[in-house]
Amino acid sequence: MNTSFYQYLILLLFSTIFQTEIVSAAEYPNDKVDIKPYGLLPKYRSFAFSPNSKHFAFIQRENNIDLFVVMNAGTQAVSAAFRAGTYKARNVYFATDKHVIIVGSKTQKHYQVRGKWENSKAFVYNIETQKLTTLLDNSCVERSQSKIKRCKSRTSSLFPGQSGLGRIIGLNKKSREVYMPAYSGLRKPHYDVYRVSLKTGKAKRFATGNASTIDWFLNEDGTVLAREDFSERTGEHLIYSKTSGEWELIYRNEADIPEFSPQAISQDNKRLFFTSFNENVFSMALDTGEITGPLFGQEGKDVGFIVTDINRKMESIRYSGFTPSYSFPDQKDNETYKMLSEYYPASSVYVEDRSTDNNKWLVHITGNDGAGDYRILDREKVKLQKILAEYPDIAAIGEIRAINYKARDGLKIPAILTLPTDPEKRKNLPLIALPHGGPASHDTVRFDWLAQYLTAKGYAVLQPNFRGSTGFGYELKNSGDGEWGKKMQDDVSDGIKILVKSGYVDPDRVCIMGASYGGYSALAGGAFSPELYRCVISIAGVSDLPLMISKTKSQNKSYSPIVKYWERLIGDPETEKEKLKSISPVNFAENFQAPVLLIHGKDDLVVPIIQSKRMLSALKKVDKVVELITLKGEDHWLSSSETRLALLQEVDRFLEQHNPAGTL
């Protein structure tokens, strides 16, 4: 692209951008911080374009209720706003110009299935008829086995105890049907594909798999192209092709955990695309099984995921790291994204959706330029129009810095450091170490509601991407295997010590807080590095690792991939029982010096609340300062504004008592 013309586009973009921008952070001093805007879920989220770009849809939060909203893109008039019953809103996107797919979930029990499940379901909303219809409805199976035969309007063959019923793997535009995979049968469930009408929601079984089938790939008219099988018992990973009209085995391997899994199809329906260790993209020929690559990759960054359309056709590659980056097949698209990312150098720019003619892009901007907003880029007019802000009531943004530091063994640790808004108040600060969950996850340059609230109060916040984190290449992620409570914890401690040495942080005013794995890390910090911390906050944290893996085994088979995954990351409770005990905070309650706040959702199915209850009991037995806050009706992901706000209020109270930021 001509350089002068490129600069002209930047200037033109600046001149046409919406005028409603983020208010200066200096206008909001930290002593007037309001908890509510931070504790609430985003007011607007999960935006999507209709293929013709005439409408967009999103989820809007009003009075602790999620509404699915459809809006005219030209006039910005609301066409519809509705709920999906008692389901929590998870996602929204368009199947056609008039059919909006919405996905929700809820925690519930199922007939003939032990325990609770986070059951998801898809619905379709017709913009023209204004009718909401359930897709692939298994409600009769949920109610009672005796009613199955009498319920002719339901898909009664579905296995009751399954999640993921909202998944769509293809669209037939001619017949106005979508293809949805689901487990069929009550005794020996198998993973099949159902053809589901967008008009009625009724479903017919379209393709039959087996107990080992885990995925399907189809072309635009619904012809089956490939099937993926994985046997948990034998570890046999198979990929079959049906491009010749008959099933042909094109790939076979044996492993406890599949080395890869196809994610997309080529535009010509001849190849499958997959990632290897999340670092590079490869392709597999459907006629021969030949693997080619690497085709795409960026050093020091993971492939976040392969972006596809509703038929799983590859459209682009999105990379991770501190900020996202993309690889598009068309060089003009790469130039457009470069223009956007250079216009917002201190933020992350996500391409959420594109119109069919590729002229209009829906982008999400989050980071140092504000609390997150959605904009429409008109490429022809070179105009970027702001639609709505995720958090319209938050104006003050703490500075988000992407930093790197060396751990004690020399490994480079990428991290996010968020500082209070006033540059004059960035010395000798109180610090909250905030390790992320996962641990196969990572923190990025984005608006983080919890980190931003803490910096608004006057704290510095360190979010280390310790070893075991994704996003920054295979070496960092792989080096975390077997290092729970050890080197992974050292990475957090080393980051704190470096900030103290640099003068940013007061060593006597450091607390550690985290959720899920981050909650474990917080407890491990209190147990194994007690001299560092003034207080400890664990949200849905693991305290007893043998119990965690034993529970996982009881819910799955001992040879299942999820069990093997945790055994590889942490250890085998049968052969490494003493090791697991030695890194379980529940066994080291005596070591704690700092007061502890435990917070846990009652309906958490990922990390059951027993983990926090055991930690509470252990600490009380040795007369430590500890309290447990139970969030009624809350799951693992803090899906409710009401409970998220309650959590933030408890955190605020606890910090004010044990590590106040003070008047800065």
- The rounded distance, in Å, linking the Cα atoms of 586 and 599 is 15
Q: Which residue has the higher pLDDT, 326 or 141?
A: 326
Q: How far apart are CA 130 and CA 79, in angstroms?
A: 9
Whether residue 606 has pLDDT greater than 50? yes
**Considering only 295-309, 348-362, 487-501, 635-649, which range has the smallest mean pLDDT?**
635-649
Confidence of residue 566 (pLDDT cuts 50, 70, 90): confident
Q: How confident is the model at residue 5 (pLDDT cuts 50, 70, 90)?
A: very low
Residue 593: what pLDDT? Answer: 98
* The CATH number fitting domain 399-543+585-658, selected from 3.40.1160.10, 3.40.50.1820, 3.30.450.20, 3.40.50.1580: 3.40.50.1820
- Which of 38-49 are b and which e, b meaning 16 or more Cβ less than 10 Å from the residue's Cβ? bbbbbbbbbbbb
Residue 407 to residue 226: CA distance in whole angstroms: 45
C-alpha 408, offset from chain centre: 30
Q: Decide if pLDDT at 20 tops 60.
A: no
Other CB atoms within a 10 A radius of the CB of residue 5 amount to 8
Average pLDDT value for residue range 384-390: 93
581: helix, coil or strand?
helix
**Residue 540 confidence class, pLDDT cut points 50, 70, 90:** very high
Rounded to whole angstroms, the Cα distance separating 456 from 246 reads 62
10 Å CB burial of residue 358 (0-12, 13-18, 19+) is middle
Rounded CA-CA distance 318/326 in Å is 5
Note the pTM of the prediction, 2 decimals: 0.89
Q: What is the arithmetic mean of pLDDT over 620-636?
A: 92
What pLDDT, on the 0 to 100 scale, is given for residue 115?
A: 59
Residue 504: the pLDDT is 94
The percentage of residues in the chain with a pLDDT greater than 70, rounded to a whole number, is 90
Mean pLDDT within 60-73:
90
Q: Is the pLDDT of residue 60 over 90?
A: yes
Provide the sign of the torsion angle of the four alpha carbons 157, 162, 166, 169, taken in this order. negative
- Confidence class for position 325, pLDDT limits 50, 70, 90: very high
**Average pLDDT, rounded, for the chain:** 88
pLDDT of residue 496: 98
List pLDDT tens digits, range 270-281.
999 999 877 789
* pLDDT attached to residue 155: 62
Q: Where does the chain hold its CATH 3.40.50.1820 domain(s)?
A: 399-543+585-658
Q: Determine the pLDDT at residue 573.
A: 83
Q: Binning pLDDT at 50, 70 and 90, where does residue 332 land?
A: very high
Query: Which one has a higher pLDDT value, 260 or 532?
Result: 532
Q: What is the mean pLDDT of residues 563-580?
A: 87
Please list, in sequence order, all residues whose beta carbon lies within 8 angstroms of the beta carbon of residue 335, skipping any fewer than 6 positions away: 1, 6
Report the share of the chain in percent with pLDDT over 90: 71
Given pLDDT bands bounded at 50, 70 and 90, which one contains residue 8?
Answer: very low
Is the bond into 546 cis (omega within 30 degrees of 0)? Answer: no
Q: Counting runs of H as helices and runs of E as strands, what totals does the chain give?
A: 13, 35
Q: pLDDT class for 114, splitting at 50, 70, 90?
A: low
Q: 439-451 burial, b if ≥16 CB within 10 A, otherwise e?
A: bbbbbbbbbbbbb
Q: Residue 25 carries which DSSP code? A: G
Whether 230 shows a pLDDT value over 90: the answer reads: yes
For 399-410, how does the pLDDT look when each residue is reduced to its tens digit (9 = 90+)?
999 999 999 999
Please check the confidence at residue 18 and state whether its pLDDT lies above 90.
no
CA distance 553 to 235: 17
Distance between CA 179 and CA 209 in Å, rounded? 14
Task: Write the DSSP string, 385-398.
Answer: EEEEESSTT----P
Q: b vs e for 303-332, b when ≥16 Cβ sit within 10 Å of the residue's Cβ? A: bbebbbbbbbbbbbbbbbbbbbbbbbeeee
Q: What is the pLDDT of residue 109?
A: 63
C-alpha angle with apex 33: 30 to 39, nearest 5 degrees? 135
Sign of CA dihedral 283, 284, 287, 288: positive
Q: How confident is the model at residue 1 (pLDDT cuts 50, 70, 90)?
A: very low
Peptide bond into 294 cis (omega under 30): yes
Q: Is the pLDDT of residue 634 over 70?
A: yes
Residue 287 CB coordination number (10 Å): 12
Q: How far, in Å, CA of 446 to CA of 396, rounded? A: 14
Q: Helix 331-343 and helix 3-16: axis angle, to 10°?
A: 60
Q: Is the pLDDT of residue 160 over 80?
A: no
Of the listed ranges 10-14, 405-409, 489-493, the least confidently predicted one is: 10-14
**pLDDT higher than 80, residue 17:** no
